[in-house]
Chains A and B, each alone.
Chain A
Amino acid sequence: MLVEYKKLLKNKNFYLVFFTLVLIVIIAAFTGVYTHKEEYQLIQKIYEKDENVLSLVSPHKQWVGFSGASNLASSLYYFIFPALISIALVDSIFRERISGNQNYMFLRMSRKKYYTVKFVTTYITAFLFFVLPLFLGIVLVNLLTNQWDYTTYATSYKSLVEGTIILPDNVFAGDIKVLFSDLLIMSPYVYIAFYYVLGGLFASGYICMGLALSMFIKNHYLVIFMPQIIYIACWGLLTVLGKPQWDPFNLINPRQSLEQLSITAIVVTLLLQHFIAFVIYSMGMRRNRDVL
């Protein structure tokens, strides 16, 4: 596995992709902070500094993913992450097969070990690629707004859920999350960490699916864009079928933008995605058995 990481660190695309993801997060964070400041000033003016209302206008709502469709960079991150992460990772088997390096690797280690190491390395790295820039986004938003403690929000949110908070209107009723509301009551950090990890697992699943398909596909560009194609195809198909609440794009969204989201949908989709990736990968391993 160490050899795999050494190879990755020598790959220019590794840095290019990480830099691009971080750049998108930086833009999203700055846009979010600007939006938050505008919103906070407006709310202060409208509600004449009502403490209960102001406690619900929290900067954490501008963390990437939370900030919603109005923050273009945030939406972009969640829209194109499979394509970006793929550029650095998904063609590692493909390139070694084309260059002939795979034959050399098979002399140094067993075929099973080679494929296992490739799969595990790709899985872990894709997860980190997705998650690390997002955590950086949290730090950036907190730094720019100078807010690290979200206890006040968590307390107000709990009162909102319980219906005990006194507010002048019900504009904030939509803040209540249908799923994992207890995590948000605990802390916005716990809630977002859960969603980022969930997103990371889906990201790893897509990239490993691409890695598996790279053993069947002969076109390099198609190999690289396959995870994005699958991701977009799911988005398109489930929208047409009227089941967007089963689409991973919506399932990993911390805003929970749709009705009828369920834990069942999250678990089933995640397991199904990983199962498909694993089956295709196993088939690819068997198919490439006669490479020597």
Chain B
Amino acid sequence: MKKKLASTLCAVGLLVSASLASAGTSAITYSKELPILSNNIYLATGKKDDNSQSKVENSVVGSTYTANMWIVDANGKKVSATATKVTDDDTRNFTVDQSAVGGNVNLAAENDTVTYVKVEVSGKFYPDTK
């Protein structure tokens, strides 16, 4: 009985620690379209657990367009600098304001130029990198 309880506790402990460790560091994939006329959109949302940098591994921005990306907190308040001209196979690291730690953060993006077509964008967002 004791053995069973111990192994159950171990399993639960492992699960909890694994989920805690991977909460922010796991990739959140996104595949969306940047709106027309350079309006912005949230590409991905995730919980920020620590004060490590956030990371974007962007795979595609359609045609020859480039995107501006930044991070906002759950209230829509900007908590990072804007990374301009993010393009295909482009990785950017963001230093994020401490106030965002412990809550959800959103990766926001817009087309860097004014156009009337929607532009596809896809990649991975990591709220934490530690």
Contacts and interface: CB of A to CB of B under 8 A. Distances in A.
Contacts of A75: 38, 114
A242 B62 CA distance: 10
A266 B80 CA distance: 34
Interface string A74-100: 010001000000000000000000000
A69 B112 contact: yes
B66 to A, nearest CB: 6
Interface in A45-65: 45-47, 53, 57
Given A174-B84, A236-B116, A69 B38 contact: yes
B116 to A, nearest CB: 7
B81 interface: yes
A258 B116 contact: no
A43 B113 contact: no
A185 to B, nearest CB: 18
Interface residues of B, number: 33
Interface residues of A, number: 35
Interface string A230-257: 0000001001001011000110010111
Contact of A175 (B38, B65, B84, B115): B84
Interface string B29-53: 0000000011000000000000001
Contacts of A256: 85
Given A175-B84, A244-B113, A245-B64, A170 B92 contact: yes
Contacts, number: 98
B83 A171 contact: yes
A257 B112 contact: yes
A239 B116 contact: yes
A257 B85 contact: yes
Interface stretch (B5-13, B17-25, B94-102): B94-102
Nearest to A259: B64
Given A168-B95, A239-B115, A257-B85, A244 B63 contact: yes
B81 A260 contact: no
B115 A68 contact: no
A170 B114 contact: no
Interface string B81-93: 1111111000111
A78 B116 CA distance: 15
A9 interface: no
Contacts of A43: 81
Contacts of B66: 174, 257-259
Interface in A110-167: none
B117 interface: yes
A57 B80 CA distance: 13
Given A42-B78, A259-B65, 19 more contacts: A46-B97, A68-B84, A69-B111, A75-B38, A168-B53, A168-B95, A169-B92, A170-B83, A171-B80, A171-B82, A239-B115, A239-B117, A244-B64, A250-B113, A253-B113, A255-B84, A257-B66, A258-B64, A258-B113
5 contacts: A69-B114, A174-B83, A239-B116, A250-B113, A255-B84
State the 9 A-B residue pairs at the shortest beta-carbon distance, nearest first: A69-B38, A174-B85, A174-B84, A257-B113, A257-B112, A169-B93, A259-B64, A171-B81, A171-B83
